Amino acid sequence: MGTSIQTKNLTKSYGNVQVLKSIDFTIEQGEFTAIMGPSGSGKTTLLNTLSTIDSFNGGEVWIEGSSLLDMKKKALREFRQKRMGFIFQDYNLLDTLTVKENILLPLSLQKTPLAEMEQRLAKIIAALNIESILQQFPSEISGGQKQRTAAARAMITNPAIVFADEPTGSLDSRSATQLLEQIQLLNETFKTTVLLITHDAYAASYCRRVIFLRDGKIVNELFKGEQSEKQFFDRILTVQSATGGDRR
């Protein structure tokens, strides 16, 4: 197993406002990590920076051993398309495509052979339990099913890293639990690194590690170890309360 993400003295500013301040951490390949913190702590800015969607002002970021500073715009775009997957709170599904077509879209854009597309699809939909809705459109399925479709689309390219930005934010508790269990299963099955941005201690309790941000700085981190979700959840709540997070 190698290093998936590494930052050194990472800083990001918008005008005179410094949003990220000297961020240093390493995430190993296959880790399931949550980034938590109150609104304005820099969580989404950190995700956008690590995923190459946004640039940074100082320090350095390595993804799979490659420095982002050494990559041109075209190389960054191709790297993002081929090595990264994204799950967003608002699903970002195309209404005019079926569930199957939405999931296969990234492979279609990469001109992947049809046989390989079907092979990858079979594994992903089985893990996410969405075989029965493949021919339906997004307007015909529930929020939980939409989010599992989005998760399948994110995983179908066999990415090295999946970035999940508040993926349970629009779901009821039952759908959120199902999604988290299935992301956990995907992480374990495919050894994909998952970085989860969340306000929710319950969502974070499914991760193996939680990094807490406040005012653009890392202020604490927890490792799950052999604890149950419930035990880890209680520890996360304690730290979240101390760091000014939203207790939900």
A 10 A CB-CB count for 203 gives 27
DSSP string, 163-214: EEESTTTTS-HHHHHHHHHHHHHHHHHH--EEEEE-S-HHHHTTSSEEEEEE
pLDDT of residue 31: 95
When pLDDT is averaged across residues 215-223 and rounded to a whole number, the result is: 95
17-68 tens-digit pLDDT: 999 999 999 999 999 999 999 888 999 999 999 998 899 999 999 998 889 9
Looking at residue 30, what is its pLDDT? 93
pLDDT exceeds cutoff 80 at 106: yes
pLDDT tens-digit profile of 146-163?
A: 999 998 999 898 888 999
- Give the model's pLDDT for residue 248: 47
The reported pTM is 0.88
